[in-house]
Amino acid sequence: MKVSIPFQQLLTAVKTLTPAQKEKLRQNLVENQPKKIGKSEFIKMLLSGPVYSKKQIQTIEENRKSIAKWRTKS
């Protein structure tokens, strides 16, 4: 469920929380943040991804040439 609360009102509500509730809120916010990956992890992910075979690359090149010919004929 989404609720639209003005920021100032939200800030006031958070300030009224007990220290235990604030800690629980902080933990919940930290857990739900997207994980950041480092540069080396990103490179590993890219290198382990799918790659085109030589036949697929050849097919793509042929299709590009065909499209280029078609475009210049018009």
Give the predicted TM-score (pTM) of the model.
0.40
The region, left, alpha or beta by phi > 0 then psi within -120 to 50, assigned to residue 50 is beta
pLDDT on residue 28? 87
DSSP structure class, residue 33: S
User: How high is the mean pLDDT of the chain?
Assistant: 89
Measured in whole angstroms, the distance separating CA 70 from the mean position of its chain's CA atoms is 37
Distance CA 34, CA 36 (A): 6
> For residue range 18-53, what is the model confidence (pLDDT) as tens digits?
999 999 999 888 887 777 778 898 899 889 999 999
**In the predicted model, is pLDDT for residue 73 greater than 80?**
no
